[in-house]
Amino acid sequence: MALELVFGKVCLPQRALIVRARSGAEELISSKASAGPLMQETQKEAPAGKRAVVLLSGGIDSTTTLASAKRDGCELYALSFAYGQRHAVELQAAERVAHAMGVARHLKISFDLTEIGGSALTGSLAVPKGRNAADISYGIPVTYVPARNTIFLSFALAWAEVLGATEIYIGVNALDYSGYPDCREPYIHAFEKMAKQATKAGVEGVEVRIRAPLLHLTKAEIICLGTELGVDYSLTWSCYDPTNGLACGACDSCQLRRQGFQQAGIADPTRYANPANL
Ligand SMILES: [Zn+2]
């Protein structure tokens, strides 16, 4: 029933997502076919009236996740990070979204992952541009930030314990899932299990659930879901490499965003630096 609630609102027929597995062979992954018991757990709606910490980057996925937590009746506590990512523009987007969504509080925490590096988002590596869909979906990209979701979820877990929140929402999804190891379903499950052992609340019997309502949705399905939930995507930001506050249109994130709007049949509100060249 919970699954029907999630998928039934998507405005497209279920789109199969073709990804190129690391072996090079193409796999056909349907959104529903890949739904296992764990997914039903992670996608189950939270009880109304619960407090939820929601990881909010200001992009499409985290914004739609925030809207999902709101739909689930949660009191919203948005959590964003300034971790040395290349551009602060995404944090400004997070502030706009948090305000528009009426969160109880928006907490921003700063730390510097550029000291560690190892990613195109926090180091000197160039952000890839103009890659085709097969390249984007193959392997772990240089925009992977080492252990980022573990770092983010750990902050969320600490705040959740202080707030007495029993829900943590994170916007990982099928597209990230194909390449980023910390967007996989077993990872989410493992973190939830760890949280029970890691906190005072956990050992005293208060379970924190990690909710990943977008886990098996494509970008188009996410955009459809958010649109139905009233999300204003003009407030959001996706580009890894903007120019003068405008999206580049060519990085992986821009391309996935553009394709998502096209496939959803919804107008893309993004302001691009060179729209004529898209
Ligand atoms: Zn871009």
Where residue 168 falls among pLDDT bands split at 50, 70, 90? very high
Residue 179 lies in a domain: yes
Residue 248 lies in a domain: no
Residue 84 lies in a domain: yes
Distance 37 CA to ligand 1 centre (A): 36
pLDDT greater at residue 20 or residue 12: 12
Side chain identity, residue 146: P
Residue 38 lies in a domain: no
Distance 212 CA to ligand 1 centre (A): 25
Alpha-carbon gap, residue 134 to 116, rounded angstroms: 29
| CATH classification of the domain holding 138 | 3.40.50.620
Distance 256 CA to ligand 1 centre (A): 10
Residue 274 lies in a domain: no
Residue 278 lies in a domain: no
Residue 120 in tokens:
């195109």
Distance 160 CA to ligand 1 centre (A): 33
Q: Residue 178's domain spans which residues?
A: 6-22+45-236
Distance 226 CA to ligand 1 centre (A): 21
- Tell me the pTM: 0.79
Where residue 242 falls among pLDDT bands split at 50, 70, 90? confident
The number of distinct structural domains making up the chain is 1
Distance 257 CA to ligand 1 centre (A): 9
pLDDT single digits (tens) 210-221: 999 999 999 999
pLDDT single digits (tens) 174-204: 776 567 788 888 999 999 999 999 999 888 9
pLDDT single digits (tens) 122-150: 666 666 677 776 666 666 666 677 888 99
Q: 255-259: long-range contacts (C-beta < 8 A, 24 or more apart)?
A: 255/131, 255/133, 255/136, 256/136, 256/175, 256/219, 257/60, 257/219, 259/133, 259/219, 259/220
pLDDT single digits (tens) 45-66: 666 679 999 999 999 999 999 9
Residue 245 lies in a domain: no
Distance 129 CA to ligand 1 centre (A): 8
Alpha-carbon gap, residue 237 to 246, rounded angstroms: 10
Alpha-carbon gap, residue 119 to 208, rounded angstroms: 30
Distance 248 CA to ligand 1 centre (A): 4
Residue 40 lies in a domain: no
Whether 107 contacts 80, CB under 8 Å = yes
Where residue 26 falls among pLDDT bands split at 50, 70, 90? very low
